[in-house]
Amino acid sequence: MFRRPISPTELIYFPMRDLAPPFLMQLVVEGTGSIDPETLRRAVATAAAANPGARLVRDGRHWVDSGRAPGVRVVEHELQYPALEADPVLTSPIGPTPDATVEVLLLTGTTTALVFRVFHGVMDGMGMVMWTTDVLRALRGEEPVGAADPIADAELVKRIGAPGRPTLMLPRFRSATGHGRQERGEHRHLLRTRTIHATGPGTLMRVAAMLADEGGPVSRIMIPVDIRRHDPELRSTANLALPLFLDARPGMNWRQLNDIKRAGLAENRELNQMDNGGLKYLPQAAGRGLLRALNALGSRTGLNLASATVSHMGRYDLDALAVPGFAPTAIKVMPQHSVAMPLLVGMTECGGRTELTVSARSGRGVPERLDALLDRIVRTLETELAPENSASTH
């Protein structure tokens, strides 16, 4: 039976379900055509049998395979772009029961969409992608690749060994969207999306550079690193992303930031972040209290442990992901909300476009500043990555 310890990173995520609901990563596959609900349920069950990380329930300090496939809900609904924080489906709790950790939505409307919803306590972003692509394989009648290794970040880091010391975490970094007092009756988090009609090199670092330009004297940008890179044979959907921190000043260009990132990866610097912040040593109630305090500090003073998380969740060949009767037209990653981080940026590339979605801690004045920032990111990337400019930006 599949069973593994809940890693220290994953334990930190449990209070987030109450503090930043629904605290789910969501991968949206939009397309044309339709999918039969029963065919989808069979495909989900087939893929889940090969990826037991999609069937986990908590048993004390362990995750165990429940043997039950994730729920599939069929909802007649159109996603409410661009202000997705008001979308009643994306913001709903996971089902069918409170102990569920993964579910799949089939949205039927003018546009058909599959939404893969994952509690971050059981998977990281790439685990969610592995799970999603296996469901699509099953829908095509192919065998899932599967990911049955019961290994998360702590065990892999212990096996590889961590160099150096963790980055000192102090709340002193400002956000590109500023801060404002959170008012009753207003959304505590925003979820906004933009389509950038361009793709090209260095997208992640270009966005990071723009965030640093709009931030304080120094912005701390967190880049999640997939530590599966240290063991290419490993097949696990668990949390295997650890942070690489880039301290960036206004005016630094994307190539400079990319050099810092490459140096950090060469030194395996992400592996030494497991003990970061000491949160994992706190009892759950104390950890919850600290997270509340970090949110209050960030919203009232603008000081945060990091300025933003920026994550690239891959490039996708939409034709290769097609299933009988359904042709994907876009893949979008929706980051979870966070009380400890003011901005989480997730992006994908598909169909010659970059799809960008941001979760932001809201507050007085933040919605307007966030929209202005996103407009700047779109304008800049569409200009820099335009064919006539791309030769000079490689």
Predicted pLDDT of residue 99: 87
Lowest mean pLDDT among 184-188, 279-283, 355-359, 384-388: 279-283
Q: How far apart are CA 299 and CA 312, in angstroms?
A: 26
Position 394 scores a pLDDT of 42
SS3 content of the chain, % helix, strand, coil (to 5): 35, 25, 40
User: 171 and 305 in contact (C-beta within 8 Å)?
Assistant: yes
Cβ atoms of 307 and 119 closer than 8 Å: no
Q: Are 324 and 139 in contact (CB under 8 A)?
A: yes
In this prediction, residue 393 has a pLDDT band, given cuts at 50, 70 and 90, of: very low
pTM of the model: 0.95
- Whether the pLDDT of residue 146 is over 70: the answer is yes
With beta carbons less than 8 A apart as the criterion, state whether 314 and 355 touch.
no
* 62-74 mean pLDDT: 97
Structural domains of the chain, ranges and CATH numbers in brackets? 3-393 (3.30.559.10)
Tell me what pLDDT residue 63 has: 98
How many C-beta atoms lie closer than 10 Å to residue 19's C-beta?
A: 18
Confidence bin at 287 (pLDDT 50/70/90): confident
> Could you say which DSSP state residue 173 is in?
B
Task: Render 5-54 in DSSP notation, one character per residue.
Answer: EPPHHHHHHTTHHHHSTT-EEEEEEEEEE---HHHHHHHHHHHHHH-GGG
Give the pLDDT confidence of 329-338 residue by residue, as tens digits: 999 999 999 9
- Residue bearing the bigger pLDDT, 145 or 15: 145
Residue 40: per-residue pLDDT: 98
Identity at 72, one-letter amino acid code: V
State yes or no: pLDDT of 119 exceeds 70: yes
Q: What is the pLDDT of residues 171-200, one digit of tens each?
A: 999 999 999 999 888 999 999 999 999 999
CB 225 within 8 A of CB 244: yes
Indicate the range of 13-22, 39-48, 201-210, 273-282 predicted with least confidence: 273-282
Q: Is the pLDDT of residue 390 over 70?
A: no
d(CA 47, CA 337): 27
pLDDT at 224 over 50: yes
Q: Does pLDDT of 275 surpass 70?
A: no
Beta strand 219-226 with 189-196: parallel, antiparallel or unpaired? unpaired
DSSP bridge partners of 30: 113, 330
